């Protein structure tokens, strides 16, 4: 039984007849249900370009006794977990044969097997595409619009975007989108983010000053806390990456309640201590980097 149910049951059982007690009890019940109702709506949208199950698991962990619902797109309906495991194996093959191709390129005595490595890469790419069902940016956009049309579910208060950011794309093992395509996609589903107070980008160079100015402030114009990377970010399964995510969740309430740059600075430093190249846009005005704090 949850803490909220225990509190509510203890307050509603065997009420005493005295009016003052009843009034006090009613007041406490109201406060309890209000707080617990708010907590139960903690909801995160996780946009998963990168097949980042390890990261999703951390965001699903309870924080201060409150479980956060994590809604993942591409959804598990579209790409089930079994298929995602196939994608992981196919991608491992691609990486393996890509390294071998690079070795062949500089080898003095070229192995005859070198001629087969490109075929192995292409086969693995086909395995990956089959496992994802050919999921494209258009499919991602459709799922976001479907979430926006669902007016019965609680609103999201956090958005996480996990994927590589390079060569004009957000990309990963599951799908990819051109940066401008993704901006347009997010703009078209803007109602999803009306109540969002935190955005976390888990990808390389997603939090440079240029990206904040040219992309993120337009994509999320009212979000007070946007965390990203000003340099090359760790890979999804690295211990320091998962430690960083845990620290984000730990300090998030303090970042949201902070009133001054002085309050934010030590919180931001605690993120850097995880050996993650974090940057932070706070209240749409101040950007925190490893070596400086600047007005945007």
d(CA 162, CA 184): 18
Q: What is the pLDDT of residues 137-150, one digit of tens each?
A: 999 999 999 999 99
Other C-beta atoms lying within 10 Å of the C-beta of residue 194: 9
How far is CA 61 from each of CA 40, 57, 68, 70, 246, rounded to the nearest angstrom?
14, 7, 7, 10, 9
Residue 208 corresponds to which tokens in the numbers above? 């440079």
Residue 10 clears pLDDT 90, i.e. is over it: no
pLDDT at site 61: 81
- Which segment of 13-27, 87-101, 231-245 scores lowest on mean pLDDT? 13-27
Residue 14 predicted with pLDDT over 50 = no
pLDDT band at 64 (very low <50, low <70, confident <90, very high): low
Exposure on the CB side of residue 248, measured as CA atoms within 13 A: 28
Looking at the chain, the whole-number percentage of residues with pLDDT higher than 70 is 84
What is the rounded CA–CA span in Å between residue 135 and residue 139? 6
Q: Report whether pLDDT(99) > 50.
A: yes
Which parts of 104-218 are beta strand (E)?
158-162, 164-166, 169-171, 176-178, 198-202
Torsion angles phi and psi, residue 23, rounded to 5: -65, -45
* pLDDT value of residue 41: 55
Q: How far apart are CA 83 and CA 175, in angstroms?
A: 13
Q: Name the least confident of 19-28, 106-115, 135-144, 264-273.
A: 19-28
Q: How far is residue 93 from each of residues 126, 180, 221, measured CA to CA in Å?
A: 12, 30, 40
Query: Are the CB atoms for 216 and 279 separated by under 8 Å?
Result: no
φ, ψ of residue 80 to 5 degrees: the values are -60, 160
CA distance 72 to 53: 10
Using an 8 Å Cβ cutoff, are 4 and 67 in contact?
A: no
- Whole-angstrom Cα distance, residue 92 to residue 80? 19
pLDDT at 188: 92
- pLDDT confidence of 110, banded at 50, 70, 90? confident
Amino acid 108: pLDDT: 84
Burial per residue of 206-238, b for 16 or more beta-carbon CB atoms within 10 angstroms, e otherwise: bbbeebbeebbbebbeebbbbbbbbeebbebee
pLDDT at 109: 86
**Residue 12 clears pLDDT 80, i.e. is over it:** no
The yes-or-no verdict on residue 53 having pLDDT over 70 is: yes
pLDDT at 177 over 90: yes
**C-alpha neighbours within 13 Å on the C-beta side of residue 268:** 26
pLDDT at position 68: 73
Helices 3-12 & 19-40 angle (0-180, nearest 10): 160
SS3 assignment, position 242: helix
């Amino acid at each position: 039984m949850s803490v909220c149910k225990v509190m509510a049951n203890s307050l509603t059982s065997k009420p005493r007849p005295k009016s003052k007690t009843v009034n006090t009890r009613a007041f406490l019940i109201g406060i309890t249900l209000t707080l617990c109702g708010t907590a139960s709506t903690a909801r995160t949208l996780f946009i998963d370009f990168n097949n980042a199950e390890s990261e999703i698991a951390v965001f699903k962990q309870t924080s201060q006794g409150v479980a956060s619902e994590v809604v993942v797109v591409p959804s598990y309906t579209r790409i089930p977990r079994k298929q995602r495991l196939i994608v992981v194996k196919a991608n491992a093959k691609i990486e393996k044969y890509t390294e071998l191709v690079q070795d062949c390129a500089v080898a003095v005595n070229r192995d005859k097997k070198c001629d087969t490595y490109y075929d192995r890469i292409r086969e693995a790419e086909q395995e990956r595409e089959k496992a994802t069902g050919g999921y494209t940016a258009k499919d991602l956009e459709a799922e976001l619009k479907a979430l926006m049309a669902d007016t019965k579910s609680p609103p999201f208060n956090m958005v996480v975007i996990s994927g590589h950011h390079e060569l004009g794309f957000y990309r990963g093992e599951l799908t990819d989108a051109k940066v401008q395509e993704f901006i347009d996609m997010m703009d078209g589903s803007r109602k999803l983010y009306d109540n969002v107070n935190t955005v976390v980008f888990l990808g390389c160079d997603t939090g440079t000053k240029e990206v904040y100015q040219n992309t993120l402030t337009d994509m999320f114009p009212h979000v007070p806390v946007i965390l990203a990377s000003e340099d090359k970010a760790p890979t999804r399964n690295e211990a320091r990456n998962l430690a960083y995510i845990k620290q984000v969740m730990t300090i998030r309430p303090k970042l949201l309640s902070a009133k001054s740059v002085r309050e934010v600075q030590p919180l931001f430093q605690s993120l850097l201590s995880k050996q993650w190249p974090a940057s932070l846009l706070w209240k749409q005005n101040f950007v925190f980097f490893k070596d400086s704090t600047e007005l945007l």
